Amino acid sequence: MSDPVSTTLPETEQADKEFLDDVIAGLHRQPKQLAPKYFYDEQGSRYFDQICQLEEYYPYRTELELLPRVAKELNDYFHQQTSDGIHVIEFGAGSLHKIKPLLEHVEQIDEFTAIDISGAHLQSACAELKNYFPELTIHGVEADFTRPFPLKAEGRVHLGFFPGSTIGNLAPAEAVEFLANARQTLGEGSYMLLGVDTKKDEQLLHQAYNDSAGVTAKFNKNVLVRINRELGADFDLDGFRHEAWYNDAKGRVEMHLRSVREQRVTLGTQVFDFAKDETIHTENSYKYHPHEFEDLAAKAGWHAEKWWLADNQMFSVTLLRSDQ
Ligand code: AVJ
């Protein structure tokens, strides 16, 4: 039997209900947690773009500098592999800056599908991309890319694109599940290109997630702003402070919002009590050595065909090919 909720609610109402259900469930957990995908409303996507311009946030710029080299080598590689057109499918596409080097250098790409959870942001980004690449067929899809989705078009090469180390938001087991789903979606003989942040000096990681201008703090707190505005909660924004640190045992940066005092937050009929210093865990950002990532991808039926490391070793890009 089909779920009456998913069939009767329009898509945005459905998304609101999921947001509400997730927030309630997450805040009832111990420790309290919220999923990082909820940072990205329009304002959150803007904060993230600001983070990418910060001196301290090395991942964005390091990857962007590495991608032209990757793209030139990919162009040679694909010419050797196939004469078919390539359809690139980007997961969590954001502002569409990362796809440009690929479109500039990989000549066989003639179709591009961008999937992102922030629909309005995506539409304007797609329109802008069309100005740069008028020949390219572009589709913008507002969706949660962690779910499987249908892709048509036979006789073409599917290249999944997942830059920015967004895969780092997933715990290793979830990352394997995502990669296995992506392999299903993309189909037999497909490829996937991923940007993956590397393990590095703890001090550099700390600075990247605790910038001096406080943009990351605003980005982190934006999830509470959303919960207040969209779900009618009464979070006191000054009652929580941004924290981020590297958890060496788990190989991840964690972001939290720490309650500065004992307090109660209400959301409709729900009540959430916070002890002083209790945190809401809002994000994990896993870091991998290229070989660690290769092993993880292998568990999802992919093998690493090639990988690239930035000159300063601060970021990596891996090309996966689905196992036969
Ligand atoms: C978009 C998930 C790659 O983990 O570095 C930036 C998000 N969080 N600053 C990351 C983020 C805090 C970012 N990813």
Pair 14, 94: CB distance under 8 Å: no
Residues 111-155 pLDDT 10s: 999 988 778 888 889 999 999 999 999 999 888 777 777 776 566
Counting ligand 1 atoms within 8 A of each CB, the residue from 48, 60, 219, 245 with the most, and so the one to mutate, is 48
**Per-residue confidence (pLDDT) for residue 148, from 0 to 100:** 74
Identify the pLDDT of residue 11: 67
pLDDT digits (tens, 9 = 90+) for 40-70: 898 998 999 999 999 999 999 999 999 999 9
Which atom of ligand 1 is least distant from the CA of 244?
12
Cα(285) to centroid of ligand 1, in Å?
7
Which ligand 1 atom lies nearest to the CA of residue 169? Answer: 2
CA of 202 to the centre of ligand 1 (A): 16
Question: 187 CA distance to ligand 1 centroid (A)?
Answer: 28
Higher pLDDT, 120 or 1: 120
Percentage with pLDDT > 90 across the chain: 81
Cα separation of 29 and 277, whole Å? 16
Cα–ligand 1 centroid distance for 219 (angstroms): 10
- What's the 166 CA to ligand 1 centre distance in angstroms? 7
Residue 3: per-residue pLDDT: 35
Look at residue 4 in the predicted model and tell me its pLDDT: 32
For residue 303, the model assigns a pLDDT of 96
Question: What's the pLDDT at 171?
Answer: 97
How many A from CA of 35 to the centre of ligand 1? 12
Which residue is closest in CA terms to ligand 1's atom 10? 285
For the CA of 92, the closest atom of ligand 1 is 1
Q: Which residues line ligand 1 (CB under 6 A)?
A: 51, 59, 164-166, 168-169, 209, 216, 283, 285
Is the Cβ–Cβ distance between 281 and 244 less than 8 Å?
no
Burial category of 123 from C-beta neighbours within 10 Å (exposed 0-12, middle 13-18, buried 19 and up): middle
Q: What share of the chain is helix, strand, coil (3-state, %, to 5)?
A: 45, 25, 30
Q: Where do the domains of the chain lie?
A: 10-55+208-286, 60-200+289-322
The CATH homologous superfamily for domain 60-200+289-322 is Vaccinia Virus protein VP39 (3.40.50.150)
| Residue to substitute in 91, 165, 167, 216 for testing ligand 1 pocket (most ligand atoms within 8 angstroms of CB) | 165
pLDDT band of residue 6 (cuts 50, 70, 90) is: very low
CA atoms within 13 A on the CB side of 101: 17
* Range of 114-128, 180-194, 243-257 with top mean pLDDT: 243-257
Q: Measured between alpha carbons, how far is 321 from 324 in angstroms, rounded to an integer?
A: 9
Give 188's pLDDT tier (boundaries 50, 70, 90): confident
CA of 71 to the centre of ligand 1 (A): 23
Residue 280 parent element (H or E): strand 279-286
Q: According to the model, what pLDDT value does residue 8 have?
A: 43
